[in-house]
Amino acid sequence: MTPDVASQARKSMAALHRAPEPDVLKPLLERATVSRESRDRIMSESLTLLADLRAAQGKGWVNQFLQEYRLNSSEGVALLSLAEAFLRVPDPETADLLIADKLGDADWRAHTGKSNSTLVNSATWGLVVGRALVGEGEQPSALRRLISRAGEPFVRQAVGAAMRMMGEIFVMGRTIDEAARRMKKPEHEGFTASFDMLGEAARTKADADRYFRAYVDAIDAVGADPAAGHSISVKLSALHARYEVAQWDDCVPALTEMLEALAVQAAGKGIALTVDAEESERLEMSLDIIGTVAGLPALKGWDGFGMAVQAYGKRARPVIAWAGALGREMNVRLVKGAYWDSEIKRTQVEGLSDYPLFTRKAATDVSYLACARDMLDAPHIRPAFASHNALTVATIVEWAGNARDFEFQRLHGMGDGLYERLVREHGYHCRIYAPVGGHRDLLAYLVRRLLENGANSSFVHQLADERLSEEEILADPVVKIASVGGTRHPNIPLPVDLFGAARRNSSGLDLADREILLQTATQCSRESGSPASQSLPPVALDPRVRGGTEVTGAITRAAAAFPAWSATPVDTRAASLDALADLLEENREELMAICVAEAFKTIPDALGEVREAVDFCRYYAQQTRDGLHPIDLPGPTGERNTLRFEGRGVWATIAPWNFPLAIFLGQTVAALVAGNTVVAKPAPQTPRIAEFAVRLAHDAGVPKDALVLVPGGPEVGAALTADPRIMGVAFTGSTATARKIARSLLEDDNRPIVPLIAETGGINAMIVDSTALPEQVVADVVTSAFRSAGQRCSALRLLLLQEEIADGVIEMLKGAMDLLIVGDPADPRTDVGPVIDQAAYDRLMAYRGGLGSAILKTLPVPDTGLFVPPTLVRLGALDALDREWFGPILHVATWPAGKLAETIAAVNAKGYGLTMGLHSRIARAGELVEATAKVGNLYINRSMIGAVVGSQPFGGEGLSGTGPKAGGPHYLQRFCVERAVSVDTTSAGGNATLLSLDEGAA
């Protein structure tokens, strides 16, 4: 390794990771620019390649298929969805529902006879007939009736055959031997292959072990004929189920050992091995693993080791420089990138400073060309250029001149015609990236490939669009990007601007940056002092912000402060919330540390807590400006009608310990900004974080007597709600306590009728049918049930699996649970911390103790502390669970195919209505749940926790709350009284504006 070059490259990566797009692109534009003379030759070669590609379209049907069924059409989306799900559905009833759902609404008849491909036209007629059989989308049971009469499920069989055919287009073979035989067919003459054993990511250790064995077997099979020149591609995320920055100390050594074993095996067989690219958050880990293996003495002299680099990443060029400084020959495969949409979404969701990748397709093309030029010039890199873009290929051919010491690469099933002439007539080398695996394994891969290559901006899609001219298809990306100054795509705002001009998004921490993660963990550990094995000792609170244990005095102070605060202009009150949000972000690390120490939150949960509190402040400030100013209402001439929103008086806000900052502040600032004063009671387990928050609120401009803190237990809450001067109560906690509060507010006949805003718990169910992707289900179940030790109101309590898939999903879920780490929440590796206090621990452990053989899975926990083992419990029926267990205990039951409506009704009958989840690829299933589920928050094909302020207003119904929803557009008005004023202006001269009207118009 060249230490100086490698070290400088790593520093450059850090500087570029989230740098502004124009700054990153400026040197890339210079590097990617070609001379005028070269441009003429490049265009000439591009036009030739374009002609080759178009000629090849008449021979194969893949490109014609993509042209006929574009992904921006309802038909294209329907086919993609059907292909993604159909082959994994084991039961005929659900398969029929899926077919009806996907074929029923699209206009297949409009595509008949339009394609030059007989195969595409035949498939289209099959889809027309299929739609007719499912009742043109109007009779979803028609298919089942037809099958019953015919006695032969011919439509289902035909769809299954079509889906398997689609799979074979993009997958080289179901086994490595089958794939190797297929590479010997005439159409692959002159080409070699890089075989990739399908597996997007391991979810369990068993998955990782199976993928590792598949790689070992593949190396043996390919190594049996090294002269064929084929190679193997390895995906690190398939070899370790916890390939995450938080698990660095465990996964990096383990993956290094596995990659070393595979590399030594490949070297011994005389074949090449390339490490595939991963999401950007894993780049630093990947480089550590690859760098260590590259330097092994056992691999000295072997020139078959390589890695992939994604050009859409801002760090691509320094990664290439790093690869060239490893002190050995390195094969580097340059790709455009495969995780663009998920990278964009993750950056936005986590509120990070900027994107790790380019937001314009043309910018990625510029980066690709700049990286390609670096690779061609690097003495220790053997380049491989993976592209389906004729202009890109022609540019590389021009830059390479007479050299042939590099190769092109293309995906199996894509780019037919682009390289045949270059390979067979001009001596260039092209390798086909060839996925290998069963049809069930190809699903996620297939979808990503189609999305990646069918997107509107991709070259493959543009080629299929007859409306585009050759000049448009072959437009120079350097010119495109220079014309916009390298700026970010206008439709992709920075995360801070995600919600537009109305409010700033809360800023996050990049916990995928190991340095940031370790620094945060150090601060949190320093605050907690030791592993959170037991509750912290009582703390003395700042007397400046507490009202004392004497509730009456606190209410007296707040009542005296009400007139002045209520008269404070609306915009001034809103400004104090914005100022509080800024102070929360300025003190983020300390607030997180207290959350970890006092509420036993893990580091990601503590960060989410602070961000949610910030979002509440800014959202309610925005809602105040938009909705609490006086409103002029219509009426007859000579009359003025106005509606005003005023504070009610003193509110009591009673917060829970599970969100001791976000909910505590959310309830409190909503009441304040609406013009009320507040006596705020935190949970007795978490007074320190409340004290800190109140102090910041006072610093932000809220008068000290307008917000008074009263720590304490149930007796303080009871005294608060019993006082007739309390004009409203906002409460989050148990259903039983909410009932007590409601009764106390009605006991005094002389007391005004005041509002109660209550958000309580629920028996939150997730329903999973057989079309769902098990890997996604398991990931979302683990997150929903066990994150925060199951101590979220929204946490998953009841998993309802369709009978046909229950055993497989449960087995995968048990394997995923095995990977959870239970321990100190200040440790960045921890997934599940302790429960909040001894009472919660005793209650949960007593329940577990009575479950006996119903426990399917449980995990070991530390010997000391309030750690309740994550537990999976099998129920004989969903009716067996009749109450909420607030901890890391998940119950699972089954439901029969075709009984979705009855299953929803059974969940509704429990009376709770907080959250529900559905995993299904059938759109009509989602519509049915949406129409009939009596829950405040429904989550489809995602986890059930983590509601975002302003995007997913949160709150339940029935036994789960009163509404309105926190973080929603109707929340603030509940804290107000509405006062209408009507003035007859005729008594003071009438409507003078009428006198100025034109007489003719009048």
- Positions marked catalytic: 759, 793
CA–CA separation, 663 and 732 (whole Å): 8
Q: Is 353 exposed, middle or buried (0-12, 13-18, 19+ CB in 10 A)?
A: middle
Q: What is the DSSP string of 110-145?
A: GGTT-SS-HHHHHHHHHHHHHHHHTTTTT-TTHHHH
CB neighbours of residue 740 within 10 Å: 15
Q: Are strands 765-768 and 915-919 parallel, antiparallel or unpaired?
A: parallel
- The sign of the dihedral angle between the CA atoms of 201, 202, 207, 213 is positive
CB 738 within 8 A of CB 731: yes
CA–CA separation, 823 and 533 (whole Å): 9
CA–CA separation, 876 and 880 (whole Å): 7
Query: In the beta sheet, which residues pair with residue 978?
Result: 645
Helix (H, G, I), strand (E, B) or coil at 79: helix
Phi and psi at 194, nearest 5°, equal: -115, 110
Structure tokens at 821: 């780490």
CB 827 within 8 A of CB 248: no
- Find tokens 């005003």 and name the residue: 644
Contacts of 511 (CB under 8 A, 6+ apart): 245, 246, 350, 517, 520, 603, 604, 607, 828
- Based on its alpha-carbon atoms, the radius of gyration of the chain, rounded to whole angstroms, reads 32
- Upper half-sphere CA count for residue 247 (Cβ side, 13 Å): 15
CB 871 within 8 A of CB 855: yes
Q: What is the DSSP letter of 428?
A: -
CB 234 within 8 A of CB 276: yes
CA–CA separation, 215 and 260 (whole Å): 13
Structure tokens at 833: 């911390």
In angstroms, what CA-CA distances link 636 with 131, 633, 982, 1002?
Answer: 56, 10, 11, 16
Helix (DSSP H) and strand (DSSP E) numbers for the chain = 36, 25
- Find tokens 């119950």 and name the residue: 891
